[in-house]
Amino acid sequence: MTTSTAISAQGSYFYIAGTDGSSITITGITKASAAVVTATNTLSVGDTVVFGTITGMSEMTGRIGIVTVASSSSFTVNIDSSGFAAVGTAGTATPKTWTNVGNTRSYSGFDGQKSEIDVSNLQSAAKEYIPGLEDFGQLTVEMDTDNTDTGQLALRANKSANVRTYFNLTLPNGKKRVF
């Protein structure tokens, strides 16, 4: 009998982005399945960073990554930059801090899928499809209202001000989903 490898939701933490950390000056980014960033590094494994404008690697601008390897002169993030146009030569990265959203009861989501594009024509022997853009779906979080919880207050403030923000769902096995 096979044992389930499913991760229980119990023990997960839901966070909203807090105050940004001090900006890090980047001197290079590799084209790799996990981008290696050259910089005077203050980050640790598991930290989250948002990239500013990157010279030579515009595809990296605005992306958020999780640090998977860290040394004093570089860090590696979980962003596949192997297909980007060129290496990055300069720019900035800003570490994210997180505020826990308390009294979170449950979550469900990340239920999206790729659409299919019908490319059938008169010469087709049967229906022909190619994959379309991926839809990452939705995430629904259920919580008990707490008017004193810092995370819930931040959620309400961002909603009222129409502010776009980042979120972090940390699973019991330590894996993070940052969006």
Whether 165 has a pLDDT exceeding 90, the answer reads: yes
Q: Write the DSSP assignment of 106-169 as a string of letters.
A: EEEE----EEEEE---TT-SS--EEEEEE----EEEEE---TT-HHHHHHHHHHHTT----EEE
Question: How many other C-beta atoms can be found within 10 angstroms of the C-beta atom of residue 179?
Answer: 11
What is the structure's pLDDT at 9? 77
Task: Say which residue the tokens 């899928």 belong to.
Answer: 113
Mean pLDDT of the residues in the chain:
92
pLDDT band at 75 (very low <50, low <70, confident <90, very high): very high
What is the structure's pLDDT at 2? 74
Q: State what percent of residues in the chain have pLDDT above 70.
A: 99
Each residue's pLDDT tens digit, 105-144: 988 887 778 889 999 999 999 999 998 887 878 889 999 9
pLDDT band at 89 (very low <50, low <70, confident <90, very high): very high
Each residue's pLDDT tens digit, 24-42: 999 999 999 999 999 999 9
Q: Taking residues 153-167, what's their average pLDDT?
A: 95
Whether 94 has a pLDDT exceeding 80, the answer reads: yes
Whether 1 has a pLDDT exceeding 90, the answer reads: no
For residue 157, what are the CA distances in angstroms to 34, 105, 139, 150, 162? Answer: 35, 21, 19, 10, 8
What is the structure's pLDDT at 21? 93
What is the structure's pLDDT at 114? 81
**Residue 9: CB partners within 8 Å, gap ≥ 6?**
106, 107
What is the structure's pLDDT at 30? 97
What is the structure's pLDDT at 109? 81
Please report, to the nearest 10 degrees, the dihedral formed by the alpha carbons of residues 152, 155, 161, 167 taken in order: 160
Q: Taking residues 39-68, what's their average pLDDT?
A: 95
Q: Taking residues 17-26, what's their average pLDDT?
A: 94
